[in-house]
Structure 1
Amino acid sequence: MTTSSSKNRFQDLSSEGRVENDVFEDDPDHEIRYKTLSWQLVSALMIAEIVSNGMLTLPNAMAAVGIVPSLVLTIFLGVFALHTAKLLIDFKLNHPEVHNMGDAGMIIFGPLGREVLSAGTIIFAIFGTGSELLSGQQALSTLSNNGLCATVLLAIFAIATFVLSLPRTLGRLSWLGLFSALLIAICGLLAMVGAGANPVRDRVIVASVPTNFYQAFLAITGPVFAYAGGTGDDRFFILISEMRRPQDAMKAAWLLQGFATTFYAVFSVVVYVYIGNGVLSPALFSLPPVWSKLTFGIGLVNFLIAGALYSHTAAKLVFVRFFRHSRHIYTHTALGWTVWTALCFAATAAAFVLASAVPIFSYLTGITASLFAAWYTYGLAGFFWLHDTYHQAEPQYTGGVGGSGIAALRKRPVGTVSAVSTVLAGAFICVAGTYVSVKLIVQAYEEGIVGKPFTC
């Protein structure tokens, strides 16, 4: 929804595609230039960041609810995520000064909204980094036959993640993202080949599984949060801000969601059909040792790059908040590099401490995904549409032409109902996901399966 009035109000495009009030200036004289990403590289970065962990949990979710419900949900959520991506992109194009979800919160909800959504982004990014660190540690443990203490391997992987997060612009990471996206695709293909070459005897495969609400939603949290790092997420704001042509962002969304939805569906079905209801999460643990090592070895690079991107996101939000439009953004100053390095280190160190010192870290990751990612990927997109549709009808946005914002919403009933439904969907996922995650923590303590901090 980018109307002509919104372009007049928010965008002044030059022949080179630059936008007035953009969060980043694109000056050839700047030592550090941000507006370098193409839409192809943006889609590669997003694939590198979200597909690996999402892909590896889906066969287990399919085992819980059956093939048909899982496939329907996977495809529906892919289409839904593409819809919310469109709303997010339109909002970004209408408000080029928005760099992250905190900036969007300031526009919609005021100062409190800015702080809450900024804090949520940082927390979710740190937990995302921690999840990738654990995936990397699992890969290293598998490859080394548990030859070193798990905490030591986690520390080694955290150091590598920190170093890789240090480039100041996403353009410097973009080709690594392309390489990572290719590797995770190869990892998935090899996992399917490994499962097909080593089918489990007497495996159980079902089309659907009767279950209660708790078990059903517990199972669907896999596909729900597999998409929760996609184009509806805060990181897409940050990525669009570093695109040469933000107007091409929807092309990246189509490529990402088309690839992710197809890959999720095919991977989960193939692995589940050959392994059956006993498939583990991550699914690579269900493969024979040789295949498990091969796939983990290839996926290791993706875990590293994805963790660096999460850490980079947390650092970038705070850095831009400190130095927006100052010389420290665009120049190699001692203060700028000191603060940037400290922020990247703090984000990665916090993720390492949480992943190694908090026994229920994986459960807390589910809570953070429910509280924040559910809104960032789904619910808030509805608020974006409602806000811009309402305000673009007001005189101060249209030069005296237009009427009541409520009237504008009434004139677009389909869009209004869709936006309100998107908000309600985000609220439902948030509440139900939090409930399921908290119940899982309680059950884990009751069953005595909670580990100890800093254990090998």
Structure 2
Amino acid sequence: MNDIEKKEPDYALGVDVDGSDSIDTITALVAEDHQHEIKLRTMSWHKTAFLLAGEQVCLAIMAQSWSLSVLGWVPGIITMILCALIFWYTSMTMHKYIMKYPQIKDICDFGYYIFGKSKAAWYFSAFMLLANNILLIGFHILTGAKVLNTLSDHSLCTAVFSVITTIMGIIMSMPRTLHHVSFMSMFSSACMGIAIILFLVFAGIEQAPLYGYKGNYPTDGLVRTYAFPRPGTTWVACMNAVLNITFLWVPQILFPTFISEMEKPQDFPKALAVLTAISCILFIVPPAIGFRYLGQYSTAPAFGSLGSIAYKKASFGFVIVPTLIIGVIYANVTAKLIYTKTMGTSRHAHSNTAIGWGVWGLIMVGVWLLGFVFAEIIPSMGDFLSLLSAAFDSFFGFIYFAIAYWQLNRGSLFAGLGKTTLTLLNVFIFGVGLFILGPGLYAAVEAIIDDYSTAVTPAFTCANMAI
């Protein structure tokens, strides 16, 4: 932490977060970075918007129809809209705080400052970041294996497909700057968009879905939708559906790293506005249409409910691109944290040296291999995503930013009606975080216990995992 403390300017909490001192500090940080051989602070807000969209426009969108099938229209849509509003507001709070401390490089530094320059908070945040990202890399390796299984009619052992996905991920992750990764993100978003459009077309033209969790059509009756959860729906199922929605709307764990590589971090709200607009459309409209045509037969991902194998392959096949590129984004942020701590302030940290690239390559291989192991040993990645949402998103989507608001405004929390309203909103956000961490974590663990009480998929399996 010494390097953080040495560079820290003398800020006083509660001052104007957009003051000239922050801009001067940003200018100095950019100038220092541009003296290095490998320059990090190079992204415009346009490239940041591409990167944000590439990370957010993902397969999890196709699990939202299942969430609606559990919750029904009213609780489901309300949950989605609340998550959208909270996402935008907490992201803006994060940006305001980072503008006060522009030397923040990642969520670990963010935690360090909001908890009063606590090294314990830094290491806690680092552990949470590494655990969250490596598990998500594992999820994307498993998804890649599912896609290849589906496209090839299970022509190879599933573990072999996982190895292929891992190798491809390692190769694509070698660029050290997010500037380069942002170009990949454009293709990621486009391919996921095509997959979603194809799914909606196929779901609309089919007479009925083929498969649902309660049996093939029409085992569970004709397709129908409903306003509220169906009779017999358990609390654990409803909570996991809420966590599934929350997981999609809480990507802020990566945002400080993205902001730290912008040439003008003050422009981040422009990129955030683009992302919020895209998310509000893609995270609500396609899932709603999917629920309309699949009803109680909705699966996660919804591609699995399509009746025609050709339709599944045509739509699900495009998912391989965002699967790899989103894994690359998480791997870059993860490796960068380890690399920075390992190399410190040596010239290898920001130069094209054999040692620098060698260490970067070894770290990247290690990160993907850990993800591969988790992908192979976890019986149900869907339930573990609920666990991720409860354990990590509770902090990095809610609790951290309520605390950041308090740090920014302490001494004037109830100065007028407007500030009082915002303070109460942040109390609500803090409470939501605690609820997700408590009852939400319990529901996620219960679902995992249920997994292990039934037949568990063996580790490093060759079994067909096609949707």
Match of 2:273 among 249, 254, 260: 254
**1:439 corresponds to:** 446
One-letter code aligned to 1:175? F
Q: What is residue 423 of structure 1 aligned with on the other side? A: 430
Would you say the 8 A contact 1:59–1:272 is kept in 2?
yes
Match of 2:247 in 1: 225
Counterpart in the other structure of 2:298: 279
65, 70, 81: which one aligns with 1:75? 81
Work out the CA distance in 2 between the residues paired with 1:300 and 1:266. 22
Distance 1:219 1:363, change over 3 A: closer
Aligned to 1:328: 348
1:115-194 matched pairs, under 5 angstroms? 115-194=123-202
2:101 alignment partner in structure 1: 95
In the alignment, the residues of structure 2 paired with residue 445 and residue 78 of structure 1 have an alpha-carbon distance, to the nearest angstrom, of 34
The alpha-carbon deviation at position 317 of structure 1 amounts to: 1.4
Query: 1:397 aligns to what?
Result: none
Contact 1:158 1:349 in 2 (8 A): yes
Question: Residue type matched to 2:431 in 1?
Answer: L
CA contact (8 A) 2:73 2:228 kept: yes
Residues 279/294 of structure 1: CA separation in 2 closer, same or farther (3 Å cut): same
How much does 1:344 deviate? 1.0
Q: Distance in 2 between matches of 1:251 and 1:60?
A: 32
Q: Is the 8 A contact 1:36 1:171 kept in 2?
A: yes
Q: Structure 1 pair 343/25, CA: closer, same or farther in 2 (3 Å)?
A: farther
1:262 maps to amino acid: I
Q: Which is worse superposed, 169-178 or 101-110?
A: 101-110
2:134, 2:370 within 8 Å by CA — same for their partners in 1? yes
Distance 2:34 2:121 in 1: 35
Rounded to whole Å, the distance in 1 between the matches of 2:89 and 2:16 is 22
Query: Aligned partners of 2:285, 2:180: CA distance in 1, in Å?
Result: 32
What is the letter of the counterpart of residue 261 of structure 1?
C
One-letter amino acid matched to 1:424:
G
The alignment partner of 2:361 has SS state of: helix
Contact 1:10–1:96 (8 Å) recurs in 2 = no
In 2: Cα distance, 1:213 partner to 1:9 partner: 51
For 1:166 and 1:10, the matched residues in 2 are separated by: 36
User: Partner of 1:47 in structure 2?
Assistant: 53
Rate the CA distance shift 1:163–1:4 in 2: closer, same or farther, 3 A. same
Aligned counterparts of 1:25 and 1:357: Cα–Cα separation in 2: 46
C-alpha displacement at 1:389, in angstroms? Answer: 2.1
- TM-score, with normalisation over the residues of structure 2? 0.87
Question: Counterpart of 2:6?
Answer: none
Q: Any idea what SS the aligned residue of 2:284 has?
A: helix
C-alpha separation in 2, matches of 1:270 and 1:246 = 37
Q: Which amino acid aligns with 1:338?
A: G
Q: Deviations over 1:90-122 (max 9, x none)?
A: 111111111111111221220110000111001
Structure 2 runs not aligned, ≥5 long: 1-12, 210-221, 463-467
CA contact (8 A) 2:87 2:397 kept: yes
SS at match of 2:57: helix
SS at match of 2:461: coil
- 5 Å-filtered alignment, 1:286-365, equals 286-287=305-306, 288-365=308-385
Deviation at 1:57, TM superposition (A): 0.8
1:25 CA drift (Å) = 5.0
Could you give the per-residue CA deviations for residues 203-239 of structure 1, whole angstroms, max 9, x where no partner exists? 122222255533321222221111122xxx1211000
Letter in 2 for 1:436: A
Percent identity (aligned): 25
Q: CA separation in 1, counterparts of 2:23 and 2:265?
A: 13
Q: How much has 1:359 moved relative to structure 2? A: 2.8
Q: Which moved more, 1:352-361 or 1:331-340?
A: 352-361
Work out whether residues 51 and 226 of structure 1, in 8 Å CA contact, stay in contact via their aligned partners in 2.
no
> In the alignment, residue 96 of structure 2 is paired with which amino acid?
D
User: Is contact 1:26-1:34 (8 Å) kept?
Assistant: no
SS at match of 1:409: coil
- Measure how far apart 1:445 and its partner are: 2.3
User: Cα distance, 1:5 vs. partner?
Assistant: 3.8
**How far did residue 324 of structure 1 move?**
4.8
Partner SS, residue 83 of structure 1: helix
CA distance in 2, matches of 1:122, 1:349: 13
SS in structure 1 at match of 2:149: helix
Shift of 1:10: 5.4
Matched pairs, number = 430
**Taking structure 1 as reference, are residues 150 and 71 closer, same or farther at Cα in structure 2, changes over 3 Å only?**
same
Aligned CA distance change for structure 1 residues 297 and 377 (closer, same or farther; 3 Å): same
1:80, CA displacement in angstroms? 1.0
Corresponding residue number in structure 2 for 1:195: 203
Alpha-carbon shift at residue 4 of structure 1 (Å): 5.4
Q: 1:28 to 1:317 in 2, by over 3 A?
A: closer
Aligned structure 1 segments of 4 or more residues deviating by more than 6 angstroms: none
Please report how far the alpha carbon of residue 28 of structure 1 lies from its aligned counterpart in structure 2 after TM superposition: 4.2
Q: Which residue, 380, 387, 390 being the options, matches 1:367?
A: 387
Matches of 1:3 and 1:181, distance apart in 2: 38
What CA RMSD, in Å, does the superposition of the two structures yield over aligned residues? 2.0
Cα 1:185–1:450 shift into 2, 3 Å? same
Answer yes or no: is the 8 Å Cα contact 1:199–1:274 preserved in 2.
no
Check whether the contact 2:236–2:446 (CA below 8 A) recurs between aligned residues: no
